[in-house]
Amino acid sequence: MSFDLKIFDGDLKLGTNRDLATVEGVEKLTQDILKMVSTPIGGNPYFPWYGSPIERSLVGTAYETQFISNIASNQLRTTLEMLQNMQKEQLKTPQIITPQEQIAAIQNVSVNRNEVDPRFFIILITVLNKAFRRVQIPLQVSL
């Protein structure tokens, strides 16, 4: 079973025993997706390919709302496919990844712009993990 350190509001979270808290299973999958989607591509100098280009398409564009939503949805889908490929490569190593932590299929990625405030986006990502559980990840982005 793999695990990761638990992140809450951008900070490491402490557990009840005052040690660093960890996440595993569906919670780890959710955190992995949120980290990948919220990291600007190129934001990690050691892994410049890691992250999502969504910020570039949403910030400062004057395109029609549906066009921006389609571009952002496609970019997020590509980002999730990259994460899925990373998981496949990780399976080739001795590290164990549980079925709850792996993306089996990307079911839906929707990006909707707020009609009142065009800087505000509501994102809903739905994936199916390899334990056949649907995982929905709502995300709100204000740019």
pLDDT by residue, tens only, the chain of 143 residues? 466 777 877 778 887 888 888 888 999 999 999 999 989 998 889 999 999 988 777 766 677 888 888 999 999 999 999 999 999 999 999 988 999 999 999 999 999 988 888 778 899 999 999 999 999 999 988 77
Give the closest residue to 138 by CA, choosing from 28, 54, 33: 33
102 contacts 1 by C-beta, under 8 angstroms: no
* Predicted pLDDT at 59: 66
3 contacts 50 by C-beta, under 8 angstroms: no
Output the pTM of the full model.
0.87
**Domains and their CATH numbers in the chain:** 4-103 (3.10.450)
d(CA 110, CA 88): 25
What is the maximal distance between C-alpha atoms in the chain? 51
Q: Residue 43 is encoded by which pair of tokens?
A: 């934001």
Give the closest residue to 101 by CA, choosing from 127, 63, 139: 127
* Predicted pLDDT at 1: 47
d(CA 112, CA 118): 10
